[in-house]
Structure 1
């Protein structure tokens, strides 16, 4: 293989990796549809909020989870009818398959009946979280 061809292949791989990284970064924190999922409050050993519940899935090694925890706790303390629950998937790995959680942090916006109205992968954007809570 010629050095020019090897350099061209390496450059193409760098461009491809950068494109994938930028795409994933743009999708991080955006609101997604909750689908037909229902959250069972027994999984968190707690009750749901009277209007909405912010369910955060995290792990012990998650670096962005404390930031999301502070944000969601702030939302819950500002609204008495909104509750924040945190589920540690390190101790409950069965829940990651049940709720289709592929990364942490993942946040669900759950209504009073347990239906997942929205989900966020990564750190939620504030405006998208506001819209999701307003729609519940």
Structure 2
């Protein structure tokens, strides 16, 4: 293979890799549309309470950061629980809740419906926006 063809091939591969990385980075932590509910009893949620459910694992390097932000928001709002589920020990819940990577965070309303899903590290303002859309929290504020 001539040197010019090899350099062209490497350049194309670098461009494709950079584009894929950029797309991944832009989508990481963004709010995704959520539909359906969860089995509150299997996740340890209290009926009638809004909760953040963080799916983490022992090897997740970004999970402590997410856990800290969720706890800060929960203490600021007062009416929100934070449940951390380690998928290392509860792999059955990963398939049941369609969790493909950690961290994944669900915002579950008081009726056990998933209001928002965040894959990756969620941005604080996105979490606040999702919380502000909940009617139960607006009544207590």
Interval containing the TM-score (normalised by the shorter chain) = over 0.9
Gapped regions of structure 2 (runs ≥ 5): 135-141
- Superposed CA offset, 1:14-56 (max 9, x none): 11001000110011111111122x1222223342563x21100
Structure 2 length-normalised TM: 0.90
Gapped regions of structure 1 (runs ≥ 5): none
Structure 1 length-normalised TM: 0.93
- Superposed CA offset, 1:58-92 (max 9, x none): 00000000000000011111222111111111111
1:14 aligns with 2:14: yes
The ranges of structure 1 where at least 4 consecutive aligned residues each deviate by more than 3 angstroms after the TM superposition are: none
1:47 aligns with 2:46: yes
Residues 48 and 11 of structure 1: CA distance in aligned 2, closer, same or farther (over 3 Å): farther
The size of the alignment, in residue pairs, is: 134
CA contact (8 A) 1:56 1:106 kept: yes
Which of the two has greater helix per residue? 2
Matched position secondary structure for 2:16: helix
Q: How does 1:51-90 map to 2 (within 5 A)?
A: 52-90=50-88
Query: Which residue of the other structure, out of 106, 118, 127, is the alignment partner of 1:129?
Result: 127
CA contact (8 A) 2:54 2:85 kept: yes
Q: CA RMSD in A?
A: 1.2
